[in-house]
Amino acid sequence: MKERYFSFNIYLRKIFKEHIHRISLNAGFSCPNLDDKIDTKGCIFCNNAAFVQEDSLKNLQQQIIDAINFFTNSRRFKNVKKFIAYFQAYTNTYSDLAKLKQTYDVIKKFPQIVGLSISTRPDCIDEEILKLINSYTDDYLVWIEFGMQTSDDKILDWLNRGHTYKDFLKSVELTKKFPRINIAAHIILGLPGQDIIKDAKEINNLYLNGVKLHNLHVLRNTVLETLYNENKIEILEVDEYVKIVCDFLENLRKDVVILRLVSSAKDEYLVAPLWMKNKFDVISKIKKELEIRNSYQGKNFLE
Ligand code: SF4
């Protein structure tokens, strides 16, 4: 068997017949869980500085120019000619319509950009914003990524997400009115008390297009760091994480695109686990484990 899970790369190659890279952008939005609309403390794991580029306060257009130049000048990525603009930092639908349109429209200046991907909270979406996002589907591959994290409200509360699983369900239902927008769930694996099989089943039942995995990890200057230092939470060892990812994949529909298997964080912000610094090693362990099990995504999925 060639591929044991449906990676984002495979999916993109099927559509574009060439390698496509995501450009991660910081459009300068805020988040209602940080600016006091809901709370000021944010989610217990959140420190956006740990993954956004230091220079990402420069204007969006310059961020895109610099990223394209970086790929073009790199030996490894020199064959990548097309890109997806990925609005990743904070909550990328948290503004008025005019500002959102002005922000997303930056992609029109770059013929190399073929896709638009927007990451947001499930409680920061409405029909007007979705109409705007849908307007890009004529010319671009469009994804929206909602922070689901888990389907367990008690854990969502512990994470201080400031929304419930029902909010996530509502955001999916609303977005399904626009079938050309692909929907992904951002989900954390390794949460205390989490039933990952139930979470996989919820994603199956919703017929989502994709899922992005986040291994629970501790970043500096977060509530999670305090809990970790007080020995109040456990972070999975790499072999434990590999096992639960494989269990999760086995229970997921075959056609759900896996946007990511392991999180990334800048070294200076990462407290634990240190094994995620070697992302490629973790990915190869996951592939190896599926091979040993003679297994694949969807193996245990029953219609
Ligand atoms: S919703 Fe996102 S940006 Fe806001 S606090 Fe949580 S993780 Fe951070």
Pocket test for ligand 1, best of 43, 47, 158 (most atoms within 8 A of CB): 43
What would the DSSP string read from start to end of 78-145? TT--EEEEEE-SS-TT-S-HHHHHHHHGGGGG-TTEEEEEEEE-TTS--HHHHHHHHGGGGTSEEEEE
- 43-55 pLDDT, tens digit per residue, is 999 997 777 665 5
Contacts of 8 (CB under 8 A, 6+ apart): 210, 257, 258, 259, 260
**What is the residue range of 102's domain?**
8-292
Closest residue to atom 7 of ligand 1, CA basis: 46
Q: How far is the CA of 13 from the centre of ligand 1 (A)?
A: 31
Is 297 within the bounds of a domain? no
Domain of residue 59, CATH code: 3.20.20.70
| Predicted local confidence at residue 129, as pLDDT | 98
**Ligand 1 atom at shortest distance from the alpha carbon of 45:** 7
Structural domain total, the chain? 1
Does the pLDDT at position 57 exceed 70?
no
Closest residue to atom 8 of ligand 1, CA basis: 46
Is 1 within the bounds of a domain? no
**What sign for the dihedral angle of Cα 56, 62, 64, 66?**
negative
Helix 97-104 × helix 127-134 angle, to 10°: 20
Is 188 within the bounds of a domain? yes
pLDDT-based confidence at 107, cuts 50/70/90?
Answer: very high
Q: How many CA atoms lie within 13 A of 187 on its CB side?
A: 33
Closest residue to atom 3 of ligand 1, CA basis: 90
pLDDT-based confidence at 78, cuts 50/70/90?
Answer: confident
**Ligand 1 atom at shortest distance from the alpha carbon of 34:** 5
Closest residue to atom 2 of ligand 1, CA basis: 90
Residues with CB under 6 A from ligand 1: 31, 33-34, 42-43, 46, 48, 90-91, 121, 147
- 12-28 pLDDT, tens digit per residue, is 999 999 999 999 999 99
- 154-187 pLDDT, tens digit per residue, is 999 999 999 999 999 999 999 999 999 999 999 9
Report the alpha-carbon distance of residue 278 to residue 17 in Å, rounded: 28
CB neighbourhood size of 47 (10 A): 19
| Predicted local confidence at residue 56, as pLDDT | 56
| Predicted local confidence at residue 69, as pLDDT | 93
pLDDT-based confidence at 79, cuts 50/70/90?
Answer: confident
Report the alpha-carbon distance of residue 44 to residue 225 in Å, rounded: 9
Pocket test for ligand 1, best of 91, 222, 269 (most atoms within 8 A of CB): 91
Report the alpha-carbon distance of residue 17 to residue 250 in Å, rounded: 27
Q: How far is the CA of 240 from the centre of ligand 1 (A)?
A: 26
Is 298 within the bounds of a domain? no
Q: How far is the CA of 248 from the centre of ligand 1 (A)?
A: 24
Owner of token pair 């209602």: 32
pLDDT-based confidence at 2, cuts 50/70/90?
Answer: confident
| Predicted local confidence at residue 55, as pLDDT | 55
Q: What average pLDDT does the chain have?
A: 95
pLDDT-based confidence at 246, cuts 50/70/90?
Answer: very high
Is 230 within the bounds of a domain? yes
pLDDT-based confidence at 76, cuts 50/70/90?
Answer: confident
Is 38 within the bounds of a domain? yes
Is 262 within the bounds of a domain? yes
pTM, full prediction? 0.96
What is the mean predicted confidence (pLDDT) over 83-101?
97
Pocket test for ligand 1, best of 39, 45, 46 (most atoms within 8 A of CB): 46
Provide, rounded to the nearest whole percent, the portion of the chain with pLDDT above 90: 91
What is the mean predicted confidence (pLDDT) over 207-226?
97
pLDDT-based confidence at 75, cuts 50/70/90?
Answer: confident
> Helices (DSSP H) in the chain: which residue ranges?
8-16, 60-73, 97-104, 127-134, 153-158, 165-175, 196-205, 223-229, 238-250, 279-292
What is the mean predicted confidence (pLDDT) over 248-270?
97
Is 228 within the bounds of a domain? yes
Report the alpha-carbon distance of residue 22 to residue 84 in Å, rounded: 5
What is the mean predicted confidence (pLDDT) over 223-239?
97
Q: How far is the CA of 266 from the centre of ligand 1 (A)?
A: 17
What 3-state DSSP class applies to 271? strand
pLDDT-based confidence at 303, cuts 50/70/90?
Answer: confident
